[in-house]
Structure 1
Amino acid sequence: MAASPSLRSLQAFEAAARLGSFVSAADELAVSPAAVSQLVRGLEDQIERKLFNRINRRIVLTEAGRELYLQVNGAFAEIRTISRDLSGGERRSSLVVSVAQSVAMGWLSFRLPAFIDAHGPIDISLRGEDDPAPFESALIDIRLSYGQFHYREHETEEIAQDYVYPVCAPSFLERYGPVTSPEHLLTKKLIHTDWGPSSASFPRWKTWFDSLGLAADRNVQRGMTANSSRAALDLACGGLGVALGQGMFCAEAVEAGDLVIPVDHPIALDQPYCLTIPVRSAQRSLVIAFKSWLAAECVKSIRSPALRSW
């Protein structure tokens, strides 16, 4: 009968896979990189599977490596949690949440106190970052992302489809005159949103006018441009023009009267918002509760009655 893999070799493999480096794994385990490499190579020989491809001093999990990692990562994560709890001090729940920068700074940060009040003391690490997020090296428990194609190796669930609306400050209409038809916007100052070349495309004003059958010349692209949805809304709140605002971000401002929708013609974003949870976190009660709460908050904003009649 073949011997079972040693706990030490599995630990070395899990650390190297999670951290993406034999050197980093060695630092964590307080051994040499050569020792980690030897343990992993011994594990590969024992199970007769290649676990890493070694490319230009980098290690990349093979299909067999990813399969084994999903099996052992959860177990070692539990061991690390138990070890922290036994080391002393008050036991506190922890949660690593990953979202886009605009969601972290302009939306979720204002809502987290309500979740903490309902669930008691929690150590939350809120990460604002672009896709793809480093699930394993950062031990991310849950990720809210735009689009459903970033994390095929994890369980991903569609939450809601957002829309964009023409929005501006009441002071803008007072200064530049009312908007009583879509055609009027062709002559108004417009604020544009450009998520950048590495991100998904945000609807352009030309797309909005095309959806109404209105021909917009190249002048419609003139004006101020922001590289985030939140920044575009801040410019609109300042009375600098009309922006295409995402429902999730502009709902509260419209409800409060800080922004108005001069023309009722929303258009849908190309992709839905999705929640992704890795296998190692899928059964944690706190993660399950946060997922349910976050999904409800997203839908609440996106489907605000102030935006349109649902």
Structure 2
Amino acid sequence: MRDINIKAIECFETVARQGSVGAAAIELGVTPSAVSQQIRLLEAQFGVRLFRRERRKLILTHDGDILFQTATHAFGAIRNARSAIIRQRDLRNLILRVSPSFGVRWLGPRIGAFLTANPEWSIRVDATQDFTSFETEIADFDLRYGHGQWAGLSVLGVMHDLVMPMCSPGYRDRLQAISDDPGEQLRHAVLIDSVKTMFRWDLWLALNQVDLPDLIYPMAFDRSSMSLELARQGMGVALDSVNLCLADVQRGDLVPLSLDFPVIDFPAYWMVCPSRHLNRRIVARFADWIAEAAQTHEAEARACLTQLGCRFRQAEPPGAAQ
């Protein structure tokens, strides 16, 4: 490519498109003699005539027509790419990634308030369990569920998780008819496994000193929303996040299996990104907004659970440094 005179080809393409040296000079903002000089240089380089003059008009030769068709296509593609880049640069866009259940059940009902407060911005939400590779993917930040330790990234705490065994009122009543002992109730319960939660049944049972000799999961889901829905339908007991089903708990569609078991309370939701991303005004604005929304929600959830008679037990998230 180093032996191709791009400036001369631009002059040639403009002359061929405009039909005259004078019109091309006006478009390019140079003198007609400068345009003519570039055409002569290009003809000398290619060793062919690109134009012939007929009755004071410039007519493309066969070789000139071949070059013109190619140059027109190439410059058109470049202009289109430039326009696309400029549009993308000027577009006020916020891109974030969030786990599916948290995105649908918690963020989804609230994100409209953020958009209403920031109408000049558009937002794209990718709901996936996979974390963003910020070196190779385009995203402003992740809302992550986890232990809060990701090397090389800025990690802002968003919200604690509140985890307890939950089921439908009817299912709880059937278990209570079997025994007054909550441990014995669990031995007769169908345990619904949320495989992506940090406090799964085996860890929770050990923490609460409940021995189940035959721990099996007839139902296991990688989406908390599915586990909670099955529990709401009376299909078993789900050990999952109150944050994802607070409305169900407030309505009484889901209830604590037993008040003898405290609510596990631990930091679990984080806003994660390279530190440089926090310099974007919209990212900093979102961080402030979600912190306030999470604080309001968490206070509401704790008040609801306290009113039900629940106790809270502070815990470190599994995998966090002690």
Decide: shared fold, TM above 0.5.
yes
| 1:191 alignment partner in structure 2 | 192
Q: Which runs of 5+ in 2 are unaligned?
A: 1-82, 313-322
Q: Hey, what's the Cα distance between the residues in 1 that align with 2:263 and 2:216?
A: 18
Counterpart mapping for 1:123-138 below 5 A: 123-138=122-137
1:34-88 deviation line (CA, Å, top 9, x unaligned): xxxxxxxxxxxxxxxxxxxxxxxxxxxxxxxxxxxxxxxxxxxxxx9993388xx
- The verdict on how the C-alpha distance between 1:252 and 1:81 changes in structure 2, with shifts beyond 3 A counting, is farther
1:148-202 deviation line (CA, Å, top 9, x unaligned): 233x22211233331311111223235555575422222122211212xxxxx63
| 2:110 alignment partner in structure 1 | 111
Task: Work out which of the residue numbers 231, 238, 241 in structure 1 matches 2:233.
Answer: 238
Q: Following superposition, which runs of at least 4 residues in structure 1 exceed 6 angstroms of deviation?
A: none
* Corresponding pairs, count: 221
- Which letter maps to 1:283? N
Aligned residue for 1:276, secondary structure, equals strand
Task: Kindly name which structure, 1 or 2, has the bigger radius of gyration based on alpha carbons.
Answer: 2
Counterpart mapping for 1:67-86 below 5 A: 83-84=86-87
- Which letter maps to 2:304? A
1:276 aligns with 2:279: no
Cα contact 1:166–1:242 (8 A) shared by 2: yes
- Which letter maps to 2:147? G
Cα contact 1:202–1:269 (8 A) shared by 2: no
1:223 aligns with 2:222: no
Q: Which runs of 5+ in 1 are unaligned?
A: 1-79, 196-200
1:280 positional shift: 3.9
Aligned residue for 1:221, secondary structure, equals coil
| 1:248 alignment partner in structure 2 | 243
Cα contact 2:99–2:128 (8 A) shared by 1: yes
- Which letter maps to 1:278? P
- The verdict on how the C-alpha distance between 1:185 and 1:300 changes in structure 2, with shifts beyond 3 A counting, is farther
Q: Hey, what's the Cα distance between the residues in 2 that align with 1:120 and 1:266?
A: 42
TM-score by length of 2: 0.59
Counterpart mapping for 1:138-217 below 5 A: 138-145=137-144, 146-150=146-150, 152-174=151-173, 177=176, 180-183=180-183, 184-195=185-196, 202-217=198-213
| 1:64 alignment partner in structure 2 | none
Task: Work out which of the residue numbers 290, 294, 298 in structure 1 matches 2:290.
Answer: 294
Aligned residue for 1:307, secondary structure, equals helix
Q: Hey, what's the Cα distance between the residues in 2 that align with 1:295 and 1:81?
A: 35
Cα contact 1:247–1:307 (8 A) shared by 2: no
Cα contact 2:164–2:264 (8 A) shared by 1: no
| 1:3 alignment partner in structure 2 | none
Cα contact 2:162–2:266 (8 A) shared by 1: no
Q: Hey, what's the Cα distance between the residues in 1 that align with 2:103 and 2:161?
A: 17
Q: Hey, what's the Cα distance between the residues in 2 that align with 1:118 and 1:257?
A: 33
